[in-house]
Structure 1
Amino acid sequence: MFNMEKNLSDMKGKITNIAEKTSIITRKMSIIAPDVQHQRRFVRLPADRVAVSQ
């Protein structure tokens, strides 16, 4: 019984660590993502052509 409780406790600890790491990665991505989107620039060409990314 003790081993099962210890294993469950270890699993809960690992799940908590994964959740914390995921949260950190998500925050980093939310900071990076807007910068990436703003780097793209679109140029308006005459009506007979489509907008092209630089």
Structure 2
Amino acid sequence: MPTETDLTPYRIEIPPPALADLSDRLRRARFDDVGRSHVQGLVDYWRDGYDWRAR
């Protein structure tokens, strides 16, 4: 019998239109000069480097 500390694998299903919307929002993101390079790097990674479908 599973306990409350047991891990249960699951798969996250994100509909393609939601991923397309996220990509569009990340593409349109604007930043001020404070922390620009760090935040811009994260957005670039989420938009172009992270494989949302593989996760």
TM-score w.r.t. length of structure 2: 0.30
The structure where helix makes up a greater share of residues is: 1
Which structure's CA Rg is the greater one?
1
TM-score normalised to structure 1 length? 0.31
Higher strand share: 1
